[in-house]
Chains A and B, each alone.
Chain A
Amino acid sequence: MISLQASKSHRNERVAVNVLRAAAGFLILAITLLLLYLAVEGTKTFFVDKFPVWKFLFSSDYDPGNNVGGSAVFIAGTLLVTGFAIGIGGPFGIAVGVFLSEIAPPRMAQILKPAIELLVGIPSVVYGWLGLTLLVPFLRTHTSSPSGFGLAAAGIVLSIMILPTVISLSEDAFRSLPRSLREGSMALGSTRWQMITRVLLPSASSGLTVALILGIARAIGEALAVQMVIGNASQFPNGIFAPTASLTTEIVIDMGGAPQGSFQEHVLFSMAFLLLLIAMVLILIVRFTLRRRA
């Protein structure tokens, strides 16, 4: 009787392990299929339609109806908007990360942390809607921008959206530093600010790099909030308030109308594949940075 029970629970054990392992393996399957499918679909522009890769990357001639798919405008748009976002959100986020780790009394942290979690939870369309009803009219009346839509609007919305990522990762980076660093610095007579800028910042640099890169990854992939405020003009912006377009916004706008199998659809998939490649490169940089620290 006892041996029967024991063998039954051993069988359960084997079944359980295999089911669990299969679930873990599913993640490998998912990312592999995703990469494969997008690689095949995303390179049809080059292999099926014979549109040269360098033109896709560096030409701004975009007329997919006539098999011309130069996407430089959208690539530049993505880079500019992301640069804008990380330029504001990066330093701000790191500063608040320092504040949370080194300065904030527990009371303040108890208010600030849930606030940041709420910022994460707000859907991107709601950020877009806030941008549309609050920021765009503000820019229209207070800057040279005639419509208010454009690079600056998209950059500002994105900088707020990436804040929670940068804040919580940079807080982690500072918290993981050993206490002895702080004690040593203080014992030598430095002020708290000197300790932060001269000891903690350099020591946390790899963790902060990760925080910034994941912030960048979030900004590059954001679609709808950007699409609602960027102005959606297929042109290089001639100033920070000028309307432009990015890879994600172009996909959002044109994918629905692109006939299946058309050149236009292929180019849009090439843009998606490019986004995916950028994301993969960023995650590899994160891995490399963390490994170097270890």
Chain B
Amino acid sequence: MASAVPAARRLASDAAGNRGRHLTDAVATVILWLMAVSIILMLIAFIAYLFYLGFGSLSWQFLTGPPSQQAGGGIGPEIYNSFYILVLTLAFTVPISLAAGIYLQEYARPGLFRSVVQFSAESLATVPSIVMGLFGLLIFVFYFHWGFTALGGALTMTLLNLPALMRVTQEALASVPDSLREASVGLGATKWQTVVRTVLPSAIGRLTTGVVLIAGRIFGETAALIFTAGLSVSANHPYELNPFRSAETLAIHLWYTHSESVIPDVDRVGNGSALVLLIMVLAFNIAARVVGAALTKRFTGRSS
């Protein structure tokens, strides 16, 4: 009897503690939900706000017209340059990172060379893009005496994006089941034949998704291009094919018009450019998913 009272008290306080910790759990769960939801709301708010700011600027004249020092300039050549540098960059980045990724994933045995390549890729991936831009300046502008060129910009962007695409390649190849490789080799194929005819088609969907997502990032990159591709479009030939000419992209135009602020309608051009950049990013993201899923289905019959 004597011990019943403290025991009961302990039970009561346990119950209170129990209620307390369940309350804490519920509150924490609610807070984590709110944080997660706030990210989605923030993204929606950003998109809505950019549309609100920039929608009035969009016109055929703005999207295709040349930039101007006076009010009323367009962004046609800048959009062209963004795609031009994107295509050029991918033309270098895709083959190199595909090859490097295939080597590491399919051929290389664990050892010194493989770990040095991995470490180099990780280091390259951490180099700030402005520092990569200065490296491009040293090599292409100063050392090769090219001046500011689309080619120099694209090569700098290649260095910047190689590690990411190599990683995408490795992950895509790693997702291909070994049974496919064994079946191919079992039928008498060489390693290279196995890679080209069995492994790559099987990984093509994931590869494409990765490439398109990275393409979106290249489209919006700025810091690596300021001191390599330059801040101007050639006035006489804004839609030139020659890679040895300066090529201001849309993302740089957005930054440069604001930071120099020489044109009278900075806000209109800036709002419109920001919206076009956002729309392109949305397009690349959606395309990555749609095209990737379609290719996977086409080449493997699987749905994901």
A residues adjacent to B (C-beta < 8 A): 9-10, 12-13, 16-17, 19-28, 30-34, 37-38, 41, 92, 95-96, 98-100, 103-104, 108, 111-112, 114-126, 128-130, 132-134, 160, 163, 191-194, 196, 214, 217, 220-224, 227-228, 248, 251-252, 255-256, 260, 268-269, 272, 275-276, 279-280, 282-283, 286-287
Contacts and interface: CB of A to CB of B under 8 A. Distances in A.
Interface of B: 21-22, 24-25, 28-29, 31-33, 35-36, 39-40, 42-43, 46, 49-50, 53, 95-100, 102-104, 107-108, 113, 116-117, 119-124, 126-132, 134-135, 137-139, 142, 159, 162-163, 166, 190-193, 213, 216-217, 219-223, 226-227, 231, 251-252, 254-255, 258-259, 270-271, 274, 277-278, 281-282, 284-285
B36 A108 contact: yes
A25 B222 contact: no
A20 B99 contact: yes
A275 B132 CA distance: 11
A274 B297 CA distance: 48
Kindly list the 4 A-B residue pairs having the minimum CB-CB distance in the complex, ordered from nearest.
A221-B128, A123-B220, A23-B99, A20-B103
28 contacts: A12-B192, A23-B98, A26-B96, A27-B121, A27-B166, A34-B159, A95-B31, A96-B39, A98-B32, A99-B32, A112-B40, A118-B43, A123-B251, A124-B223, A125-B277, A126-B278, A128-B255, A130-B274, A192-B29, A193-B25, A217-B126, A221-B130, A251-B134, A252-B130, A268-B134, A276-B128, A279-B131, A286-B122
- Is the contact region of chain B dominated by helix, strand, or loop, or is it mixed? helix
A183 B74 CA distance: 61
A7 to B, nearest CB: 11
Contacts of A120: 217
Nearest to B32: A99
A108 B254 CA distance: 34
Contacts, number: 244
A126 B50 contact: yes
A59 B51 CA distance: 45
B190 A255 contact: no
Contacts of A96: 32, 35-36, 39
A193 B49 contact: no
A276 B131 contact: yes
Contact of A129 (B103, B190, B270): B270
Given A27-B117, A129-B254, A279-B123, 20 more contacts: A20-B103, A24-B113, A24-B117, A26-B100, A27-B120, A28-B120, A30-B124, A31-B127, A33-B139, A34-B124, A104-B36, A121-B284, A124-B223, A193-B24, A214-B126, A221-B128, A221-B130, A227-B259, A255-B227, A256-B226
Contact of B131 (A24, A30, A275, A287): A275
A251 B42 CA distance: 31
A99 B270 CA distance: 36
A283 B99 contact: no
Given A34-B159, A255-B227, A130 B49 contact: yes
A9 B193 contact: yes
B99 to A, nearest CB: 3
Given A129-B254, A221-B129, A115 B39 contact: yes
A143 B191 CA distance: 65
A122 B281 contact: yes
A246 B71 CA distance: 33
B102 A163 contact: no
A256 B97 CA distance: 31
Among B40, B258, B274, chain A packs the most CB atoms within 10 A around the CB of B274
B131 A115 contact: no
Nearest to B231: A256
A191 B22 CA distance: 7
Contacts of B46: 122, 130
B226 to A, nearest CB: 7
Contacts of B277: 123, 125-126
A245 to B, nearest CB: 14
Nearest to A274: B131
A211 B214 CA distance: 21
Given A122-B278, A228-B258, A283-B126, A221 B36 contact: no
A228 B138 CA distance: 25
B123 A31 contact: yes
A13 B192 contact: yes
Nearest to A109: B36
A21 B220 contact: no
Contact of A27 (B31, B35, B163, B254): B163
B247 to A, nearest CB: 16
Nearest to A167: B39
A224 B192 contact: no
Nearest to B29: A103
A260 B33 CA distance: 54
Nearest to B219: A123
A125 B50 contact: no
A31, A33, A228, A268, most chain B CB atoms within 10 A: A31
A99 B137 CA distance: 43
A170 to B, nearest CB: 13
B253 to A, nearest CB: 9
Given A123-B222, A128-B255, A223 B162 contact: no
A115 B192 contact: no
Contact of B40 (A22, A111, A132, A134): A111
